[in-house]
Amino acid sequence: MVYKTKGTCSVEISFDVEDGVLKNVKFLGGCNGNLKGIGALVEGMKPEDVIAKLDGTTCGFKPTSCPDQLAKALKEYLAAN
C-alpha cells in the first residue's frame, strides 16, 4: 500500500502486510534515519499493535507526526481489507 501523508515532512509511506504482519515499511522524505528506525522497529508487527503504539503521536507543535501518519495509513488499510 502507498499512503500520501498529510501535515508531515515525509510525503509518502509504503508498506506491505503479509500473513498479518508489516513488511517493507518505507517513508519518502522526512528525517531519514529516524524513519528508517521506525520502519525497522515495526517490521514483523501486527498493524493493530503498531496503531496502538503510534496513534496520536505529535511532532513539535504539529497535530500529527510521521509515526501518527503510519497509524492512519494502517487504519485505512485495515478498513479496506
* pLDDT digits 0-9 by tens, 7-41: 999 999 999 999 999 999 999 999 999 999 999 99
How would you list the strands of the sheet with 2-4, edge to edge? 2-4, 10-18, 21-29
Provide DSSP, 4-25. Answer: E-SSSSEEEEEEEEETTEEEEE
- Fill in the amino acid letter for 71: A
- pTM for the model stands at 0.96
CA separation for the pair 72, 67 (Å, rounded): 9
Domain residue spans of the chain: 2-80
pLDDT at residue 50, rounded to an integer: 98
Other beta carbons within 10 Å of 67: 23
